[in-house]
Structure 1
């Protein structure tokens, strides 16, 4: 069945009641939402570039709207035209001091990128976020920005938003060894390096997602990598660029997971078109293939920005088997999909072990604990520690009533699990899905009957 993506999100407060559709069918998705990570980076780069650039296939979600709102407060002219976003760049140092606090909502990516941009300005600004974001650590971004010359003061809990930042112009370049495995530290430092006179160096602990490096190279910024070290020469203006955003692998992953766990007698093939298949983001599809799903990439191409895209085609394959997922590089390539991997593992024969995922403790929720809680609610035997989950798969699941705890990825993971069961489950607190995938319910409804209920 064909699908045109629905762009209308869920009510801010709602629950979902979900049960499987029993008919046999194949699934075809002509698109998934634009990649959230690339959308934010492309918008911010164009905002501090010279001239006008258009970002195509931008994800229209709550996180992106928060990013745009902040840039408008800083004097950037931004206009929507469908899924296209026209950004009139103000140059590296052309932003204006905001009239009030910059509220970034729930988006950690924009918070950290904007901290770096603000660090290179000549004015002071305050940056705040919602309750979930204000509980997440910012110190591993704040410390290097302080070392580069910015003056930063926490206005609440130490190490967290809200904070006040007084920029410095220019910043001082630094050599930095990674303190975390996440790409967000690397991206934040590279954005700050644009405002430094000289060469900023960053040595990552493992290969993490490289959207920032690809985009900066496309924008003509002097950046290159040598093994694990990235070098950026700052202080130079650059021109705005048109950017085509590929479909988000993290959104496609929910459809892939729903297909993988659907009964073999109820599914034909699955086709998802124009998905970003950057190797630093493709760990989930590699593991699905390892688990036994027949999965191939078709119509492979490379966008002008350097991002690879392809259509993902699946057929049922064999019964799913358990896997061992470990190693920092491998886990970073699917860090946002770890809850989904755990969910699919519930349907695999044997015990799946997921290690080196401690970073998940500092997401919207402690996703190790909330993922384990969701699986247990559905009757899946699961154990976890600070950086490991063990899922005992291959046993029947039971319908459940679960709470997302306000975490968009936990809400969608629970919904995917519910989509495989004949009896209804209820997922509470699902308005958070609008953070990253407003059309999720419309897309998942190809697999399941879904009723949107008023929140209790």
Structure 2
């Protein structure tokens, strides 16, 4: 759980960003590979696991339920318990700031005869969990939540759970993944019907571990995901790709600072995660994807990005699920583009680590940007590539992506801005400020 004094940090005008960097391992994949390793029979080895505190929350919870999770020789090793092998934790599971840890672990535990209480930090306790509580209750889990479906939550898993069909009512990879994880220890078939495709890391990882999973596309474009329960999972050796959501901050920094050229290695380019790259390209970004290859069932590439003038763009609704985590940094790119950019259908952003729509609108106005806020999105008037005035103190709202987005914005402002607390960045990208400044130093 994050604590201690806030760590304000100033970010100001920078010269061209130059150099090469490797960003942390993909956070979404890291959570999933840890949980599946704990369900396998034998020892799995994981290279490139995200060093963020969110992933450490997942690892700590798995240890508390009997799995051995250790760091050795620059990698992580997990001795799995086998499907159905989770043990009763002796104390509450502290999820820190990690909504992903909470929702996915609730799914994993739901089909085990285990009772667990989930607690977290101030930010996590503001986030509603109803979207995962309701389907897991249908599976038979007994769940008692705080007001509004928030933490603390006590979940009593069901022994002898039976797979069922679930139709997702919202586009959520976390809900889908929670149901598939619950299905691992349920008899029969768990089927998730996904009207709008979301990131498929869980499906790819389940297949890599030997799960009996099938993905079909219906006539109307729906994804039909079927998982056979009570299957023994095999241990694996996984190399986690670099996180495209983390790479996005360095990419946009290079795009908006004149004269910049940077290279970021082994970035995950899963088609369901590349919405931001697609929109930046539509804005005129100079992006090259080199050395394309596959790493542990995931496509990766090295990304070379050069400064380029950007043009405002309307984000089509079909793109939203593929860039839901990248909208804060997209808004920064839009603020320095020519013309207006519009994005709607983003109500999900109001229940992230912060209300990201309001937080971004407030921060952009504070540094001189032109923004119109609606219930589900923003319209941003760009500067035409010119620096913004800057000079403000930005409230991060305990949100790592808000903090990193305005750190990037500060590099192309006339006056330095201050992010009031960079501590939340530890959840996903430890060393972010040093990486950004290392680029600026050439």
TM-score band, normalised by the shorter chain? over 0.9
**Among candidates 321, 340, 352, match of residue 351 of structure 1:** 340
1:83 Cα deviation after fit? 4.2
Work out whether residues 18 and 448 of structure 1, in 8 Å CA contact, stay in contact via their aligned partners in 2. Answer: no
| Equivalent position of 2:358 in the other structure | 369
Aligned to 2:220: none
Output aligned runs, 1:26-37, within 5 Å.
Answer: 26-29=18-21, 31-37=22-28
Superposed CA RMSD in Å reads 1.7
Distance of 2:138 and 2:185 partners within structure 1: 13
**What's 1:4 paired with?**
none
**Separation of aligned partners in 2, 1:374 and 1:82:** 42
Cα deviation for residue 423 of structure 1 reads: 2.7
Task: Please give the TM-score of this superposition, normalised by the length of structure 1.
Answer: 0.92
Matched, 1:17 2:10: yes
Alignment partner, residue 46 of structure 1: 37
Counterpart CA distance in 2 for 1:95 and 1:330 is: 37
C-alpha offsets along residues 293-322 of structure 1, whole Å, 9 cap, x if unaligned?
Answer: 11111000012x3100000112334x2101
Give the C-alpha shift of residue 447 in structure 1. 4.5
- What is the CA–CA distance in structure 2 between the aligned matches of 1:160 and 1:229, rounded to whole Å? 30
User: Normalising by structure 2, what TM-score?
Assistant: 0.94
Match for residue 212 of structure 1? 202
Match of residue 290, structure 1, among 250, 269, 282: 282
Hey, what does 1:246 align to over in structure 2?
Answer: 241
Partner Cα distance (1:10, 1:162) in 2: 18
Secondary structure in 1 matching 2:69: strand
Distance 1:32 1:447 in 2: 13
SS at match of 1:389: strand
Does the Cα contact within 8 Å between 1:291 and 1:322 map onto a contact in 2?
yes
In structure 2, the residue matched to 1:313 is: 304
Counterpart for residue 122 of structure 2:
131
Partner of 1:6: none
Could you tell me which runs of 5 or more consecutive residues in structure 1 were left unpaired when the two chains were aligned. 1-8, 450-456
Q: Which residue of 1 aligns with 2:97?
A: 106
Q: 1:288 to 1:397 in 2, by over 3 A?
A: same
Tell me whether 1:199 sits opposite 2:200 in the alignment. no
Partner SS, residue 128 of structure 2: coil
Return the alpha-carbon distance in structure 2 between the equivalents of residues 25 and 165 of structure 1. Answer: 48
> Is the partner of 2:151 in helix, strand or coil?
coil
- Please state whether the residue corresponding to 1:446 is helix, strand or coil: helix
> In the TM superposition, what whole-angstrom CA distance separates every residue of 1:22-54 from its partner, at most 9, and x where no partner exists?
3x463222x110000000100010011111101
Q: Deviation string for 1:407-447 (max 9, x for gaps)?
A: 11000001000012243211101111101100101111035
Q: Over residues 247-281 of structure 1, what are the superposed CA-to-partner deviations in whole Å (9 max), with x where a residue is unaligned?
A: 00011100001011112xx32x2211110010100
Aligned to 1:454: none
In structure 2, which of residues 155, 161, 184 is the aligned counterpart of residue 171 of structure 1?
161
CA distance in 2, matches of 1:221, 1:52: 16
* Contact 1:10–1:434 (Cα < 8 Å) also in 2: no
Contact in 1 for aligned 2:47/2:238 (Cα 8 Å)? yes
- Listed as ranges, the gaps of 5+ residues in structure 2 are 218-222
